[in-house]
Amino acid sequence: MERRIPVVVIGDVKETDKICRALKASGINTAEITFRTPCAADAIRYAASAFPEMEIGAGTVINAEQCERAIASGARFVVSPGFSSGVADVCRAAGVPYYPGCATPTEIMAAVSAGFDVVKFFPADLYGGIKALKAFSSVFPHVRFIPTGGVSAENEAEFLSQKNVAAVGGTYLVKDALERFGGENE
């Protein structure tokens, strides 16, 4: 797993190429394309086909039907804002990694009970950020977190320095990549 996972919101499939190229130019070979827009499955399909060297995943997956569409489109990992047993079942059957969103000890325990030891910590800023991650490290020493929601270029290094942080995610990675490398290709 790459340590920086861009959360990509695609409003038009035509944006996919430019965003993936900018991410690659930034040294990032992962993209979590969210199911926040109607074209998400098509964007995943395009990115998985046009950028096979990238780890293309699906984010904001909230039910089994979306998960099936994401995997059928080529998603190689699935992320949810919360825990869904339906999504977990689809991912298990397909052999695709699933990172359920967890923000409280009860949610983390439910994910662990379901067999997951890497979870999305969302929204990190609203649920205590680094202080919460430090507290979780003693209670859940075997769980690794992917904080999103409040992670930025300014605090990314601090989050990544935590022993229990597997990766960080956020839309800021896309914004930074596009600002630096989003010009039209020659």
pLDDT in tens, 110-160: 999 999 999 999 999 999 999 999 999 999 999 999 999 999 999 999 999
Residue 110 Cα distances to 20, 61, 102, 103, 167, angstroms: 34, 18, 9, 11, 21
Average pLDDT of span 64-86: 98
Model confidence, pTM: 0.95
Flag whether 41 is in a domain: yes
Partners of 59 in beta bridges: 34
pLDDT for position 182: 84
Flag whether 186 is in a domain: no
Q: Can you give the CATH number for the domain in which 161 is found?
A: 3.20.20.70
Query: Which domain range does residue 176 map to?
Result: 4-181
How many structural domains comprise the chain?
1
Q: pLDDT at residue 185 above 90? A: no
Average pLDDT of span 30-41: 98
Judge contact between 28 and 177, C-beta under 8 A.
yes
Percent of the chain with pLDDT over 90: 97
Flag whether 57 is in a domain: yes
* Residues annotated as part of the active site: 32, 120
Q: pLDDT at residue 86 above 60? A: yes
Give just the sign of the alpha carbon dihedral 166, 170, 174, 179. Answer: negative
Average pLDDT of span 27-33: 97
Flag whether 38 is in a domain: yes
